[in-house]
Amino acid sequence: MKCEHCTRKECSKKTKTDDQENVSADAPSPAQENGEKGEFHKLADAKIFLSDCLACDSCMTAEEGVQLSQQNAKDFFRVLNLNKKCDTSKHKVLVVSVCPQSLPYFAAKFNLSVTDASRRLCGFLKSLGVHYVFDTTIAADFSILESQKEFVRRYRQHSEEERTLPMLTSACPGWVRYAERVLGRPITAHLCTAKSPQQVMGSLVKDYFARQQNLSPEKIFHVIVAPCYDKKLEALQESLPPALHGSRGADCVLTSGESQAW
């Protein structure tokens, strides 16, 4: 059955039974040919069926697809080049926030300690023309504090009539998307309503930092280096209060791999 809002013609809903039949018709894997069934080969033989794809449960709209495609290194370098070419009055303040989960990736890639990777990444970004580089750890701390407050509130309100527990984390956009599209109301009612670290960081940069620097949110181009592609979709769904003209907290999200490719 074709997905209602699917933007790709080849995308179609399939059942696991159909997928399993297709898998059985495939050529045997090297592990099967050699009769080796060690733990590594079990992992290598693992399959992800099309029916497991969250996007195929309710595909993105064409507009979302376009916006996601714009969140790449080209968009980042476009702003860098405009800052070099255009009048200073049209410049944008470039801010990059780096998630701590991305640093081990750079450390392993370049055989550095996490501390050295952090320093070198910061220096590299500033050499490109980035004005400020922030660590999102402080945003994660704020998110945890707000989650703690909500848990205490839920704990005090919990009763047989009003079941507010358990409280489930909402920091991972992939998990939230799965809960909303697959699990439904029995689970989503228990999701924590506190902002995720990425959303908190967006507010800090476009609100608090902007006021500190006497800038409007539109004058700041905020890039987040994150370990997961789901963070791109989260950036599209978040927006700041109307007082800030509806500006998104993150203008562009780049994964660790995309950043390393520079």
pLDDT score of 75: 81
Residue 226 DSSP SS3: strand
Beta-bridge mates of residue 52: none
C-alpha span between 127 and 121 (Å, rounded)? 10
Q: Are the beta carbons of 56 and 90 closer than 8 angstroms?
A: no
What is the model's pLDDT at position 124? 93
- In this prediction, residue 8 carries a pLDDT of 43
Q: Please state the pTM of the whole predicted model.
A: 0.71
Residue 177: what pLDDT? 79
Q: What is the pLDDT of residue 136?
A: 94
Give yes or no for a contact between 222 and 206, defined as CB atoms under 8 angstroms apart: yes
Q: What is the pLDDT of residue 16?
A: 40
Q: Of 99, 91, 82, whose CA–CA distance to 218 is shortest?
A: 91
Residue 260 to residue 253: CA distance in whole angstroms: 14
Q: What is the rounded (10 degree) CA torsion for 4, 8, 10, 15?
A: -40
Compute CA 15 distance to the chain's CA centroid, rounded to the nearest angstrom: 28
Residue 115: how many CB atoms within 10 A of its CB? Answer: 10
| Length, in residues, of the chain | 262
Q: What does the DSSP assignment read for 138-160? A: HHHHHHHHHHHHHHHHHHHH--S
C-beta separation of 222 from 247 below 8 A: no
Q: What is the pLDDT along the chain (262 residues), one digit of tens a residue?
A: 434 344 444 444 334 444 444 444 444 444 444 444 444 344 444 444 444 454 444 555 666 666 666 677 788 888 888 888 877 777 899 999 999 999 999 999 899 999 999 999 999 999 999 999 999 999 999 999 999 999 999 999 888 778 889 999 888 887 887 888 788 888 999 999 999 999 999 999 999 999 999 999 999 999 999 988 778 878 876 644 544 555 688 998 988 888 877 7
